[in-house]
Amino acid sequence: MRAEPFAEAALARNAFLGGRVQLWQPREGYRAGIDPVLLAATVPAQPGQRVLELGCGAGPALCCLGVRVPGLALTGIEVQPAYAALARRNLSENGLSGTVIEADIAAPPAALRAQSFDHVLANPPYFHAESRSAAPDGGREVALAGPTPLATWVALAAKRLAPRGTASFIQRAERLPELLGAMQAGLGSLEIWPLAPRAGRAPRLILARGRKGGRAAFRLHAPLVLHDGAAHLEDGEDYTDVIRAVLREGRALNFPA
């Protein structure tokens, strides 16, 4: 758990979406990769809608979504005060307005429980704490293997959604049964979009979406391939055109129709 603020010397400013988003992150600790960027790109938000991110960290997903879709009312909840402060700073410095609440998602404050949102997104911790060696940095460990059950994340998302609102998640493929079971308890119209590192490789991550009150049949989409070629053979990035457009141009990543 990281409570004390980060010193300026402990921070680095990194570019996302081809420089459209500038994000302050700790040099050591939890640092965002492409996962929150891809997650944010799938949220089908429209200007004027209300969006909540559970466990927003330093705000990479909120910032990427807010820059891609202007005019959103953005809210994040983050248990680690130091990261919550970074999220507020990152929203402000990217010209976005939003609210970041310091709280545990297992015990959301009354002010949050009184609100409803058009979209909720979350990048819950990928690992069970007991199944791995803890990261040396406490803040990074909370982000990677927090103690709150995955079902609690999903339940809060479902409760805070307005009717017909969407909940979007990114998670490791091996936790798909757990995630699907949790989503079926409060969401409908479930869709799963696997993310494969390369063509012919087994997916390592999955994108998942559900709708409050949705009644459409479950859909399992063909995997989305992240990288060109059978292997990484030279320096430089080798993202597929679709992924490069999301990461470098800020394009939406729409679930297959």
Domain spans in the chain, listed from the N-terminal domain onward: 8-249
Per-position pLDDT tens, the chain of length 257: 677 889 999 999 999 999 999 999 999 888 999 999 999 999 999 999 999 999 999 999 999 999 999 999 999 999 999 999 999 999 999 999 999 999 999 999 999 999 999 999 999 998 655 554 555 555 444 555 567 899 999 999 999 999 999 999 999 999 999 999 999 999 999 999 999 999 999 999 999 999 999 999 999 999 999 999 878 766 678 999 999 999 999 999 999 99
Helix (H, G, I), strand (E, B) or coil at 131: helix
- Helix and strand numbers (H, E) in the chain are 8, 11
C-alpha span between 54 and 159 (Å, rounded): 12
- pTM of the full predicted structure? 0.91
C-alpha span between 62 and 75 (Å, rounded): 8
Q: Is CATH 3.40.50.150 the right assignment for the domain spanning 8-249?
A: yes
